[in-house]
Amino acid sequence: MAKLDPVQLRLLREVADLHEVPEGAYNIRANGEAAGRNSTANIEITSKTDVSGIDIKIKDGTKNESVHIPVVMSESGLKEMVYNDFYIGKDCDVVIVAGCGIDNCGSHDSEHDGIHRFFIGSNSKVKYVEKHYGSGDGTGKRILDPQTEVYMDEGSYMEMEMVQIKGVDSTRRTTIAALKDNAKLVVRERLMTHGEQTAESIYKVDLNGEGSSADVVSRSVARDQSFQKLDLCVNGNAACSGHTECDSIIMDKGRILAVPSLEANSVDAALVHEAAIGKIAGEQLIKLMTLGLTEAEAEEQIINGFLK
């Protein structure tokens, strides 16, 4: 990783927990250019020829392997659109770590829009971790508009951990998924906005197969003047089960709009949604204060726990 500057290395730690070149397959993108790539016997990464982005092909039966594809941006005013496609074979068990960190110390907006598509083969198991992070004290905004599409074959399992805790000024994240028979999707989203930030998170899950299921849980905290819109939609088109939950803490002058929706097109679809928005319970603050924390420290602990 000789090509990365200290800011980029810090971003890499924030978004992918990486301190050095990761094991296994990886593709590191820094300021719009490839900064390192490694394919393995089972996981092949190639550049797209028509647009910017990569194809990641994972062979049938690949187990206990990982792919890291972090993106870091440290140059103000960069705007990019990247297409990454994951072709995951049958009977795989892999971990995919994505993530984008933007440091903007300048006055121009920096924007990374990634379109990720996952084609998951039957009976494969995928854990996907995506962290978004922003830093820098410039006036230029840090913008991330990711779009994720997940196509799941029979009996496949996908667990998505989507985290955006700090520093992204504006985000509109859209995730769509389509599930065949007995496929299962689990989403855990953690979102925190502060300052003047806005975040929109949209999920649209189509449960098309018999026995398919989805469990989408979003926990968020809106501080200062920030605004969040959480739009969680599950369509049950077969004998399936779906559960969505948005649980939000609102603080200061934050605003949250939660729009959970369910659509059942089969009599055997069992769908549930829960949504709750509220401020931190006064008694929680009081309890932690009796343990010696200040009110601000207590708030911090409660939020950290909530978003863990």
Partner 1 sequence: MLKLQNISFTAPDGGKAAEIIRGIDLDIPSDKFIVITGPNGGGKSTLAKLIAGIEKPSGGKLFYEGEDITELGITERARKGIGFAFQQPVRFKGLTVLDLLRIAAGKKLTVSEACEYLSEVGLCAKDYINREVNASLSGGELKRIEIATVLARDVKLAVFDEPEAGIDLWSFNNLIRIFEKMRVTEKKRTVIVISHQERILNIADEIIVLSDGQVIDQGPRERVLPEIMGAKFTADICPKME
CB contact at 8 A, 163 and 171: no
Site string for partner 1, 272-301 (x = CB under 8 A): ---------x-xx-xxxxxxxxxx-----x
Residues in binding contact with partner 1, number by CB under 8 A: 21
Q: Residue 205: CA atoms inside 13 Å, Cβ hemisphere, count?
A: 33
Query: Considering the complex, what minimum distance in angstroms separates the CB of residue 227 from partner 1?
Result: 23
| Closest by CA position to 213, among listed 252, 239, 191 | 239
3-class secondary-structure state, position 107: coil
**Taking the complex as a whole, how short is the minimal distance between the CB of residue 305 and partner 1, in angstroms?**
3
Number of H helices, E strands in the chain: 3, 21
Return the number of the residue (21 or 289) whose C-beta is nearest partner 1: 289
Which listed residue (9, 217, 275, 307) binds partner 1 by CB under 8 A? 307
| 247 interacts with partner 1 by CB under 8 A | yes
Distance of closest approach, residue 274 Cβ to partner 1, in angstroms: 13
Burial class (CB in 10 A: 0-12, 13-18, 19+), 254: buried
- The alpha carbon dihedral of 206, 203, 68, 45 has a sign of positive
Per-residue contact string for residues 79-118; x = within reach of partner 1 by CB under 8 A: ----------------------------------------
Minimal distance, residue 37 CB to partner 1, in Å: 37
123-137 residues labelled b (16+ CB within 10 A) or e (exposed): bbbbbbbbbbbbbbe
| Count of alpha carbons within 13 angstroms of residue 249, beta-carbon side | 22
Cβ proximity to partner 1: between 139 and 304 the closer is 304
* Residue closer to partner 1 (CB basis): 2 or 296: 296
- The minimum distance between CB 175 and partner 1, in angstroms, equals 23
Burial 236-247 (b: 16+ CB within 10 A, else e): bbbbbbbbbbbb
Nearest to 131 by CA among 304, 14, 7, 10: 14
Please identify, using beta-carbon distances, which residue of 137 and 283 lies nearer to partner 1. 283
Beta carbon of residue 143, minimum distance to partner 1 (angstroms, whole number): 29
Site string for partner 1, 123-152 (x = CB under 8 A): ------------------------------
Residues in the chain: 308
Nearer to partner 1, 268 or 295 (CB): 295
Beta strand segments in 31-169, E = 33-38, 43-47, 53-58, 63-73, 79-88, 93-103, 110-120, 125-135, 142-144, 147-152, 157-166
CA angle 300-188-308, nearest 5°?
25
List the Cα angle 115/119/147 in 5-degree steps. 20
Give the tokens for residue 197.
């930030």
Cβ nearer to partner 1, comparing 239 with 280? 280
To the nearest whole angstrom, how small is the minimum distance from the Cβ of residue 23 to partner 1?
28
What would the x/- binding string for partner 1 be over residues 253 to 272, using CB under 8 A? --------------------
For partner 1, the closer CB: 9 or 307 = 307
What minimum distance in Å lies between the beta carbon of 131 and partner 1?
18
Task: Identify which of residues 2 and 308 has a Cβ nearer to partner 1 in the complex.
Answer: 308
List residues near partner 1 by CB under 8 A.
247, 281, 283-284, 286-295, 301-302, 304-308
